[in-house]
Amino acid sequence: MTFVQTIFSTFKEIVQTAFISLAIFFFVYIFLLQPHRVKGDSMLPNFHDGELLLTEKVTYRLYKPRRGDVIVFRAPQRNVDFIKRIVGLPGNTVRIEDGTVFIDDERLAEPYETQKTQGSATVVLGQDEYFVLGDNRGSSSDSRSFGPIKRNAIKGKVSLVYWPIPQSAVSGGIRTVSGVDYGIPDTFYDR
């Protein structure tokens, strides 16, 4: 093998490796996982401004979103992703009254809530709609302001906070994210 052939062979292997790596990256990014950054205080105290999350996209291809899931979705009428918690499912009636959230006339116990839910509203969700709220209700733009979100706006379920790694006063550190069991059935058939 000549020197030129060796250089060409090495260059060809580098290009092939780069191409395969990019293909794997885009497959994972488009179909499996996507990173997101928390912006603002709407999910305090559970998610802090600047934390980096992994949003997994597989679960909602196989299962329906559940009450208590923390999701990332495309905000209605904006070109930005939001992170919020699902409280109302398709077919539910969500009522906000005197600082409390009710689902189908059952009080929603919210262990992550930092303050009373402001405003009053009653929303009957359609078959493809979800009602989402931020954990920090006083600093959250959510379904109270822009209405329910459609199923196709949901990008995925937050599964992991991966940055910053150490726990501190302004971050919970690296951790997995799970939903909340409200004790209210997700569907009529769960009763």
Burial classification of residue 123, based on how many CB atoms lie within 10 Å of its CB (0-12 exposed, 13-18 middle, 19 or more buried) = middle
> How is residue 25 annotated by DSSP?
H
Catalytic residue among 42, 143, 159, 171: 42
Give the model's confidence band at 180: pLDDT under 50 very low, under 70 low, under 90 confident, else very high.
low
Percent of the chain scoring above 70 in pLDDT: 90
Spell out the domains of the chain, with CATH numbers in brackets: 36-190 (2.10.109.10)
pLDDT category of residue 188 using cuts at 50, 70 and 90: very low
Q: Which range, of 76-80, 129-133, 172-176, averages the lowest pLDDT?
A: 172-176
Going by the DSSP 8-state scheme, the letter that residue 134 receives in this structure is -
Instruction: Place 148 in a pLDDT band, splitting at 50, 70 and 90.
Output: very high
Confidence of residue 171 (pLDDT cuts 50, 70, 90): low
Average pLDDT over residues 121-128: 95
**Assessment of whether the complete model's pTM goes beyond 0.85:** no
Residue type, 59: T
Across the range 3-29, mean pLDDT stands at 89
Contact 92, 104 (CB under 8 A): yes
Candidate list 9, 64, 84, 143, residue with the active-site label: 84
Question: Is the separation of the CB atoms in 123 and 129 below 8 Å?
Answer: no
Residue 182: pLDDT band by 50, 70, 90 thresholds? low
CB 165 within 8 A of CB 150: no
pLDDT of residue 187: 52
* Predicted pLDDT of residue 124: 97
Q: Is 84 one of the catalytic residues?
A: yes
Could you tell me what percent of the chain has a pLDDT over 90?
A: 52
Amino acid in the structure at residue 189: Y
Instruction: For residue 51, give the nearest of 171, 156, 175, 179 by alpha carbon.
Output: 171
Amino acid at 41: D
- Residue 80's nearest CA partner among 23, 42, 131, 45 is 42
Please give the single-letter amino acid code of residue 147. Answer: G
